[in-house]
Amino acid sequence: MDPGTDSTLSAGRVLVVDDEKPLAAMVATYLARAGYDATVAHTGPDALESARGHDPDVVVLDLGLPGLDGIEVCRRLRSFSQCYVLMLTARGDEEDKLAGLGAGADDYITKPFSVRELVARVAAVLRRPRTGLYPAEPARVFGDLTVDLAAHEARVGGLPVGLTRTEFYLLAALSARPQQVMTRRQLIDTVWDPAWVGDERLVDVHIGNLRRKLNVDPGHHIDTVRGVGYRMVAR
C-alpha cells in the first residue's frame, strides 16, 4: 500500500523492518491485502526514521539488521513510541528472544514463518483495547501504586510510569483480580491472544520489566507463585 494512503481507511499502520528485501516486500504485500497501511525499511537507522515519520501501530522487526541491530532499534524505539513490536528471531535462539523482549518487544515469531501467521499475529495485537476504551471505573490503588484504566496510566507515589502497552495490559489484568493467582496461560489468553503459541516464559520477561519500571521487588504488589503464575497483592 502506498505510504501516502489515508491511514484512517486502513486496519492499522505497520512498519516491516528486514534487510532481506524480497521477504520484507512479500510481508508488506500480504499486510496491504489484509487492509493495513504497510511500509518497509531495511536498516536500523532507516527503521527509526520511518517510525518517527509514519507513527506505526505495529513494527515487525528483524533482529539482524545493518547499521543498528534490532535490539538497539527496539530500545531506541521505546524512547518515543508505544507501538507494538513483533520481533523476528531465528528458530531456537532463546537468547535473542529474551534480549528482544527485555529491550521492549511485545511478542516474537520465529523464522522461517508463515506470512499468514504473521498477519494473524499483527491482527491479534491490534485487537487489544486502546487507550480510553476500558469501562469507566475508579482507579485501582495498591499502596503507592495506582492503576488508572481510564487514563491508561500507572503511577507510583503519584508519578506516572512509562510502560509499554503490553506491560500496562499485564498490570491491568493482574489488578482486576487482586489476591487471585493468574497462570501464565491465563495472562497470555488475556493480554496476547487465546490462539497464541510459543514459549510462555515471555510472560516472565514482561513481568520482570514491569517490576523494574515500577521500582518494586518481587512480592511487593506482584507476587510470584512458584510453578503457577502471578498475583496482585496490596502492600
Domains and CATH numbers, the chain: 7-126 (3.40.50.2300), 140-232 (1.10.10.10)
Q: Give the model's pLDDT for residue 131.
A: 42
Q: pTM value?
A: 0.74
- Distance from C-alpha of 107 to C-alpha of 98, rounded to nearest angstrom: 10
CA proximity to 12, closest of 1, 27, 26, 23: 1
- Asked if 169 contacts 128 with a C-beta cutoff of 8 angstroms, the reply is yes
Q: Which pLDDT belongs to residue 216?
A: 64
Q: What is the pLDDT of residue 132?
A: 41
CA atoms of 209 and 168, how far apart (whole Å): 11
**Per-residue pLDDT tens digits of the chain, which is 235 residues long:** 344 444 345 679 999 999 999 999 999 999 999 999 999 999 999 999 999 999 999 999 999 899 999 999 999 999 899 899 999 987 667 777 888 888 889 888 888 888 998 998 898 888 875 444 455 678 888 888 999 988 888 999 889 998 888 999 999 999 998 889 999 999 999 888 887 877 888 899 999 989 888 876 555 788 898 888 999 987 6
Residue 225: phi and psi, rounded to 5, are: -100, 100
Name all contacts of 90-99 with Cβ < 8 Å and 24+ positions apart: 94/199, 96/63, 97/199, 97/202, 98/201, 98/205, 99/71
pLDDT score at 152: 84
Angle at 215 between CA 78 and CA 83, to 5 degrees: 20
End-to-end CA distance of the chain: 51
Report whether 59 contacts 108 (CB < 8 A): no
